[in-house]
């Protein structure tokens, strides 16, 4: 992993390669509670149903630019659409896409499309969410747009997620840049 990821990240910070960390987030309309302690019992309204808003995101490791593809039913079919979008937008330099080992990402169709678009795929080790920068982005999006808020229907819920992803105010950007550091601590495999 060190021998594959670190050189790519160095090239990304030097501006000679684009490195994107890709993952999906599945936001389900429901109660997104924060932490609350109180003496009196508090009942909060929550919407019913299982509406999902899926976001497949690619986070540029060096610039923190976010490229997304979204849909409501399932995320599987849009993986190739995201690769196409990255290849069109960032054709000026070689592209590396870092993915986790999820079965739906490591399939022949995605790998064939990446090869056709000349995108290098790099797989993270199993059970290593700490190496996946975009997981930190999803956590920030949930905190900024969903925790402790009630959305009576799917439309404002979806808009809150999109707004959190598009936020450019200084406070949000400062939090984003402090969370998305490229300093990883790697450990040797235990025997």
Q: Give the model confidence (pLDDT) of 174-188 as tens digits.
A: 777 777 766 655 556
Bridge partner list, 66: 59
**To which residue do tokens 């300093």 refer?**
183
The highest-confidence range among 24-28, 75-79, 88-92, by mean pLDDT, is 88-92
More confident residue, 99 or 6: 99
Q: Is the pLDDT of residue 97 over 60?
A: yes
Q: For the packed helices 170-179 and 133-145, what is the interaxial angle rounded to 10 degrees?
A: 150
- What does the pLDDT look like over 141-177, one tens digit per residue? 888 888 878 888 889 999 999 988 888 666 777 777 7
Q: Is the pLDDT of residue 1 over 50?
A: no
Q: Does the predicted TM-score (pTM) go above 0.85? A: no
Q: How far is CA 188 from the centre of its chain?
A: 26
Averaged pLDDT for residues 42-56: 79
Pairing mode of beta strands 119-123, 95-99 = parallel
Percentage of the residues of the chain whose pLDDT score is greater than 70: 84
Q: How does residue 2 score in pLDDT terms, banded at 50, 70 and 90?
A: very low
Domains contained in the chain, CATH given: 2-179 (3.30.420.10)
Q: How far is CA 31 from the centre of its chain?
A: 21
pLDDT at position 189: 60
């Amino acid at each position: 992993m060190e021998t594959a990821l670190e050189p790519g990240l160095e090239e990304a910070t030097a501006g000679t390669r684009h490195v994107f960390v890709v993952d999906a987030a599945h936001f389900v309309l429901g109660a997104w509670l924060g932490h609350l302690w109180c003496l009196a019992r508090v009942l909060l309204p929550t919407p019913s149903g299982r509406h999902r808003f899926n976001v497949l995101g690619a986070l540029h490791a060096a610039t923190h630019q976010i490229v997304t593809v979204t849909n409501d039913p399932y995320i599987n079919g849009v993986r190739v659409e995201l690769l196409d979008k990255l290849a069109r937008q960032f054709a000026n330099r070689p592209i590396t896409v870092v993915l986790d080992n999820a079965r739906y990402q490591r399939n022949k169709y995605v790998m064939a499309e990446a090869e056709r678009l000349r995108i290098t795929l790099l797989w993270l080790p199993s059970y290593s969410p700490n190496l996946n920068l975009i997981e930190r982005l999803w956590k920030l999006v949930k905190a900024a747009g969903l925790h402790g808020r009630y959305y009576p229907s799917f439309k404002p819920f979806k808009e809150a997620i999109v707004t959190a992803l598009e936020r450019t105010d200084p406070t949000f950007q400062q939090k984003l840049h402090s969370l998305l550091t490229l300093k990883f601590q790697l450990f040797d495999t235990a025997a």
